[in-house]
Amino acid sequence: MEQESLIDTTLFEQNALKKVGEYLYGLPHLRIEWSLELSKVSLLPRSKPIFWLGQQGSQSNRLGFEKLDQLLVELACPEVILELKKRYDQCAFYQGLSLSLTDNNASKCWFVHYFDAESQQEKRLAYKWSITGEITMVDYHFHLFTEKKFIPQLQTLIHSDYQSLFTELISERRLIQRSGFWLQKVNRQVKEVYFTYPWQPKLTEFMSAHRSSFSGRYLSAFAPYQTYRFRHIGLSAANNQAAKLTFYFTAPIKATWPKNYLALQNLVAESANNIHSILLKKLALTPP
C-alpha cells in the first residue's frame, strides 16, 4: 500500500506540473519559487511552488496574465477571484499561482504584486481558495530596513525562538543598507516576516554566518541544499504556536520545463547561479 501511495503521489506531481506547463511554459518573465521549511522536528521542501509571471513596465505582461487567467479557470478558481484579477491586470507588476504537487484537495492561491497609488508603496495580495470554496485573503506590506523606526516594532513580531537570529540578521550591514522586509498578514494579524536578500546568497553562506543559531543536526540536514541560492527568509510571527524558518528559492525559467519537483528545484538552482553575477552588477555589489 505504501508503494502504491508513493506511485500515486509521484504521478499527481508530474501531472500537476504538466498542466501548469501547458499554460505557462515559454511565457516571458516566468519565474518559479519553491521553499524549504525548518521546524523543530524536520527540514522539508514544501510541496507548493509558486509560478510567477510579469515584470514591471513590460508590454508582454498582458499575454502572461491572460494565460494565467485561463489556467485559473481550469483549476476551478472562484468567480469572485477572477473578477478581482481583472481589476488588477492593468496595474500589476507580477501575478502568481501556488498549488500543491501532492494533494489535489489542498488550497490553491492567486497572488498579485502591484504599486498602490494611495500609500505610494509596493503591495502584494494573495487570495486562497479551498476545495469547498472558502476564500482567505492574505496581504503583504514591504518596508526598507533604512526606515529604522520599524526595527524595534519588528522585533516584537518575531517568534521567541528566533530572537537571537533576528539580532544577528539586523546586524548584517549589506542586508540593512540594501534591502527590506515583508509582513504577511491574515485578518490583520502578522503571521510571517520575510527578510529579502536581492543578491541571492548561497544557503551555505547564511548557515556559516549564523552557525550559532542552528544545531549540528540541522546543519547536516541542510547539506543537500547548501549551494542553492535563496531570495527570502521567512520567520514565524510571535503569535504562531509553532516556530518555523522558511527559505524561499526563486529564479527565471526559460530553457526547459520540470517533470517533477526535484527537477524543479534543480532548475531554479541552476538558473539562480547563472544570473547571480548579473544581480550583483545590477545592485552594484561585490561578492561577500
What pLDDT does 5 receive?
A: 42
DSSP string covering 52-99, please?
Answer: EE--TT-TTHHHHHHHHHHHHHHTT--HHHHHHHHHHTTTEEEEEEE-
> What does the pLDDT look like over 129-153, one tens digit per residue?
999 989 999 999 888 988 877 788 8
Spatial distance between the Cα atoms of 179 and 143, rounded to a whole number of angstroms: 9
The SS3 of residue 255 is: coil
* Total number of residues shown for the chain: 288
Average pLDDT over residues 48-61: 91
Which of these ranges, 84-93, 163-172, 217-226, has the smallest mean pLDDT?
217-226
Contact 110, 97 (CB under 8 A): yes
Q: How confident is the model at residue 236 (pLDDT cuts 50, 70, 90)?
A: very high
CA angle 148, 154, 156 (to 5 degrees): 135
β-strand partners of 136: 128
Task: Decide which of 276 and 233 is more confident.
Answer: 233
- Please give the grid coordinates belonging to residue 90: 492593468
Average pLDDT over residues 226-240: 95
pTM, two decimals, is: 0.93
The closest alpha carbon to 182, from 239, 240, 121, belongs to 121
Strands (E), the chain: 30-38, 43-45, 50-53, 92-98, 108-116, 121-129, 135-144, 180-186, 189-196, 232-236, 245-252
Which of these ranges, 21-25, 71-75, 181-185, 221-225, has the smallest mean pLDDT?
221-225
Q: State the angle between helix axes of 79-88 and 61-74 in degrees (0 to 180), rounded to the nearest 10.
A: 180
β-strand partners of 138: 126, 186
What pLDDT does 286 receive?
A: 57
Contact 135, 80 (CB under 8 A): yes
